[in-house]
Structure formats: structure tokens, C-alpha cells
Amino acid sequence: MTRPALTFTDRGIYCEAGDFFIDPWRPVDRALITHGHADHARDGHAHYLATHSALPVMRHRLGDITAEGIAYGEVRTIGAAKVSFHPAGHVPGSAQIRVEVAGEVWVVSGDYKVDPDGLSEPFEPVTCDHFITESTFGLPVFRWRPQAEVAAEINGWWRGCAEAGKTAILGAYSLGKAQRLLSMLEPGIGPILTHGAVENTNAVMRAQGIALPDTVQVTPETNAKDFPGALVMAPPSALGSAWARRFGTRESGFASGWMQLRGIRRRRAGDRGFVVSDHADWDGLLWAIRETGAENIYVTHGYTDIFARYLNENGWNASVVRTEYEGESLEPEAG
């Protein structure tokens, strides 16, 4: 029996024909990385390969790594495998990785979303025989509203806070989500302040030519009275902390796909929840799978069992693959 082009190991997704791993969670010699989030781009690999636009953030996070960039759509031969990276729409620089061995085509999606956000390179379906998909939000309850509607909701909340003399503090992950939200804001409402973790990532992306609104980094010397009507962008871990209390009278919000669930909205430390995710919703997951034309689907992180069962009941050959990817977590700082 012919060995499949990709196999699932205790270190990650492995291609024997090219002797490389994709998003491995244990140190390996050669790692192909879909994007820069910590659950996919980990420290300790000898050699990294990622898109040119993903590498700056990876180097910012991981330090002095031995890494090479690749353009979207460029075909690279590694051993007996042909490899190419294609936009995943998750965060700037994110990619799906196509691997072809002896005519058999696999696509590893990493994390993805199918609706353009104006910041990330838009998702491109890639035809394949085998598709490895996330299922972070693989339940029918998760269906995202148009981004323009959510932007209006966030800006309306900010404007209301400003008119009431309150500082609005919005919690969002420092890589990708924060920059997407910044691009959705109306700067005319007031000044935009940022936590250092967010501003460090902003600086990396601005250096790549990614346009973001003007922001002011919060320092120990920052006095909230000097920034009336401000919105502060910070990692979720800062909400409710001593760092946030410096802003006096304030309201806090949290942006995540999990805000779709009322129970989670109630449990989060925050006054408002905004449904914004950089992962595909239920309809997006199914659309992406259909567009690949793949018969064999491998479901990784998220609602794996439920989603795989639905796929099997609707004509696909689906199986669950256990990985160490986290998707969009409710922990202080994750995907």
C-alpha cells in the first residue's frame, strides 16, 4: 500500500517525501509554518519556511531564527514533494500549504477565514484530494455578521463612551485581531491608545507597508486625562487589571467569535462583547471544503467530533486528527 503524502505524528504533520513538518509542536529540523500565532509557529526548529509577509512577525516573536521566505503561489521542490503557499485570510501573511507527491495533493489549511477583512490577503480555495481543516467554530450557531455592521457597533459603543466621559478599552489578541479592529475604527471619534504588546506588533506590520490608523502607546507616564474620549486597544489579559485601572471611569469590551454564545459573554470580564473572529464560521468552513473538491477531510482543532460527524453524514470521508493547535482561545493571549 502506498504511503500517504502526509502523515500525523506526535511532533506534527509530516511529509516523508520531503522530510519536513507543517506547523510542528515539537522541535524538528525543517518546519513549514502557516502563520505566526504561537500555537502554529513555535520555537526550537532548525529551519523555518513561511511566506515573506509572515516572517517579520515570526522573527519578532521567536528571535534569531534560521528562516526563509516564500511568495504566495511559488512552487518549491523539497525532496520528492512539490510545495506552495496560498492565502488563508486568517491574519496578514497566513497561508494554506499545498503539498503534492506523485500526483497526490494535500492542503493544510492552518487557521483560515473566507470573508475578506481588508487587512489580510484574501482566502483562495485550493483544489486537492485531501484537505486538513480547522473547526474552531464548527457549529451551526456560529455565523458571522458582515464586518461593516460589527464595525458600526464597535464605533457606536466607543462614541457613547466618549460622550459619557469614559475611556473605552477593547480587548483583542495582539497579532492579527488587534490590527484588524484598528482598521475598523473611526479615528475621528477620539485618540487611539495601545498596550505595548499591541503596539509592538503594529510597528512590525507598519514596517511591512500595512496601513493602520495613528496610535499612541501607553507608558507608565500616560495620563488618561490627556486623552479624553480615547479608545484603548489591549490584550485580553489587560482587561480588569491594574494596568487598565489607570484610565479611571471606563468601559471594557472583548472581541471574539466566542461572544456569539451568551453564556460566555456573561462570564467574560467586560461590559460588552463583540463578535469578531479571524476564523471561518460554520458556513465558511463548509464553503471552503466544497471549493477544494476534496473527498477526504481531516478535522483538527475545535468542534472536531461534531463537525466530522456532519461531514460524514453529508458525503465526505472525514476523520478527526488530534493536534496541539488551539484556534481562537478564551485564554489571555492566544490564536
* pLDDT tens, position by position, 203-235: 999 999 999 999 999 999 999 899 999 999 999
CATH fold match for the domains 7-141+278-320 and 147-274 = no
SS3 assignment, position 292: helix
SS3 assignment, position 302: strand
pLDDT at 264: 62
185: phi then psi, degrees, rounded to nearest 5: -80, 155
pLDDT at 327: 79
Q: Which helix (H) or strand (E) holds 58?
A: helix 55-62
Cβ-based neighbour number of residue 316 at 10 Å: 19
Output 16 or 261, whichever has higher pLDDT: 16
Query: What CA–CA distance (Å, rounded) separates 231 from 251?
Result: 10
- Give the architecture-level CATH label for domain 147-274: 3-Layer(aba) Sandwich (3.40)
pLDDT at 2: 72
pLDDT at 271: 79
Cell numbers placing 128: 486537492
Out of 10-19, 44-53, 320-329, which region has the weakest mean confidence (pLDDT)?
320-329
pLDDT at 270: 63
HSE-up (13 A, CA, CB side) for residue 167: 24
Averaged pLDDT for residues 264-282: 80
Going from N- to C-terminal start, the domains of the chain cover 7-141+278-320, 147-274
- Assess whether pLDDT exceeds 70 at residue 295: yes
Averaged pLDDT for residues 57-85: 97
Out of 191-205, 245-259, 316-330, give the one with best mean pLDDT.
191-205
Confidence of residue 317 (pLDDT cuts 50, 70, 90): very high
Cell numbers placing 107: 492542503
- Assess whether pLDDT exceeds 90 at residue 315: yes
- Assess whether pLDDT exceeds 90 at residue 91: yes
Model pTM score:
0.94
Out of 78-82, 177-181, 227-231, 327-331, which region has the weakest mean confidence (pLDDT)?
327-331
CATH number belonging to the domain at 7-141+278-320, selected among 2.40.70.10, 3.60.15.10, 3.40.140.10, 3.90.320.10: 3.60.15.10
Beta bridge partners of 318: 297
Spatial neighbors of 123 by CB under 8 A, at least 6 apart, are 87, 88, 89, 112, 113, 114, 116, 288
Query: What CA–CA distance (Å, rounded) separates 161 from 181?
Result: 17
SS3 assignment, position 236: helix
- Assess whether pLDDT exceeds 70 at residue 265: no
Burial class (CB in 10 A: 0-12, 13-18, 19+), 153: middle
In terms of Cα–Cα distance, which of 300, 225, 315 is closest to 13?
A: 300
* pLDDT tens, position by position, 147-178: 999 999 999 999 999 999 999 999 999 999 99
177: phi then psi, degrees, rounded to nearest 5: -65, -45
